[in-house]
Structure 1
Amino acid sequence: MKTIVLVRHGKSSWKYDVSDAERPLKSRGVNDAKLVANQYLGSNDVPEKIFTSPANRALSTCRIFMDVFGLSENSFTINKDLYDFSGEGVINFIKKLPNTIDSVMIFGHNHAFTSIANIFGDRFIDNLPTSGLVKLNFDIDNWQDFKQGTTELVIIPKELKK
Structure 2
Amino acid sequence: MKQLILMRHGKSSWDYEVSDKDRPLLQRGINDAHLVSKTFGNHAPKIDFAYSSPAIRALHTSMICLRNLDFDLDRFKVDKALYDFSGDSVQRFVGKLDNDHQTVAIFGHNYAFTSLANTWGDQYIENVPTAGLVHIIFNVDDWSKVSKGTTERTIFPKHLK
Confirm or deny: 8 A CA contact 1:2 1:102 kept in the other structure: yes
The one-letter amino acid of 1:148's match is K
The one-letter amino acid of 2:22's match is E
* Deviation for aligned residue 1:33: 0.2
The one-letter amino acid of 2:71's match is L
CA–CA distance in structure 1, aligned partners of residues 44 and 125 of structure 2:
24
CA–CA distance in structure 2, aligned partners of residues 44 and 15 of structure 1:
34
* Consecutive aligned runs of 4 or more in structure 1 exceeding 4 Å deviation: none
Q: Which residue number in structure 2 is paired with residue 6 of structure 1?
A: 6
1:129 is the counterpart of 2:129:
yes
Q: Which residue number in structure 1 is paired with residue 43 of structure 2?
A: 43
Cα offsets for 1:33-88 (capped at 9, x unmatched): 00000000000423111000000000000010122112354441100000000000
Q: Which residue number in structure 2 is paired with residue 17 of structure 1?
A: 17
Change (3 A) 1:112 1:42: same
Q: Which residue number in structure 1 is paired with residue 34 of structure 2?
A: 34
**2:137 is paired with a residue of what secondary structure?**
strand
Cα offsets for 1:133-153 (capped at 9, x unmatched): 000010111111111111000
Structure 2 counterparts to residues 63-102 of structure 1, below 5 A: 63-102=63-102
CA–CA distance in structure 1, aligned partners of residues 10 and 41 of structure 2:
17
Deviates more, 1:66-75 or 1:46-55: 66-75
CA–CA distance in structure 2, aligned partners of residues 44 and 86 of structure 1:
27
**1:125 is paired with a residue of what secondary structure?**
coil
Change (3 A) 1:55 1:98: same
Return 5+ residue gaps in structure 2 as ranges. none
Change (3 A) 1:72 1:141: closer
Q: Which residue number in structure 1 is paired with residue 103 of structure 2?
A: 103
* Deviation for aligned residue 1:19: 0.2
TM-score (normalizing by structure 1): 0.97
CA–CA distance in structure 1, aligned partners of residues 82 and 42 of structure 2:
26
CA–CA distance in structure 2, aligned partners of residues 102 and 17 of structure 1:
40
The one-letter amino acid of 1:12's match is S
TM-score (normalizing by structure 2): 0.97
CA–CA distance in structure 2, aligned partners of residues 28 and 72 of structure 1:
26
CA–CA distance in structure 1, aligned partners of residues 51 and 136 of structure 2:
16
CA–CA distance in structure 2, aligned partners of residues 104 and 45 of structure 1:
10
CA–CA distance in structure 1, aligned partners of residues 45 and 145 of structure 2:
23
Change (3 A) 1:24 1:87: same
